[in-house]
Amino acid sequence: MEIADALGWLGTALILTAYAPQIGHLIKEKCTAGLSMISWHLWLAGSVLLFVHAYARNDAVVMAVQGVNALAVIITLYVAHRYRANVCTHCAQRHGQP
Ligand SMILES: [Zn+2]
């Protein structure tokens, strides 16, 4: 494996890890405070387009990162839709809501 491939796989792992706090907070607290549904839908569309681009070029690393990214965004959107308008006590206090 070349160093560039190793870096690509490391980047994929970091992206997957980066979603954990957001998805964890959504699931544990059922809280959607601060989520922009427009942004998350745009990230999903961009990820799908980049996956198709990588598939056409047979780029396994980019396909993996975009596949992981799209899956994490779909999970986030599903949970955010399910708990839309819910705000946990911690976020309500942080954002000055009663
Ligand atoms: Zn919250």
Give the distance (Å) from ligand 1 centre to CA of residue 29. Answer: 6
Q: What distance in Å separates the CA atoms of residue 24 and residue 17, rounded to the nearest whole number?
A: 11
Give the distance (Å) from ligand 1 centre to CA of residue 51. Answer: 31
Helical axes 3-29 vs 60-82, angle rounded to 10°: 10
What are the residue ranges spanned by the domains of the chain? 36-98
| pLDDT tens digits, 8-57 | 889 888 988 988 998 899 999 999 988 899 999 999 999 999 999 999 99
For residue 97, count other CB atoms closer than 10 A to its CB: 10
Give the distance (Å) from ligand 1 centre to CA of residue 4. Answer: 37
Give the distance (Å) from ligand 1 centre to CA of residue 98. Answer: 13
Q: What distance in Å separates the CA atoms of residue 53 and residue 33, rounded to the nearest whole number?
A: 33
Q: Which band of pLDDT confidence, cut at 50, 70 and 90, is reported for residue 97?
A: low
Q: Which band of pLDDT confidence, cut at 50, 70 and 90, is reported for residue 98?
A: low
Contact 76, 92 (CB under 8 A): no
pTM of the model: 0.79
Q: What's residue 95's pLDDT? A: 72
1: Cα within 13 Å, side-chain hemisphere: 10
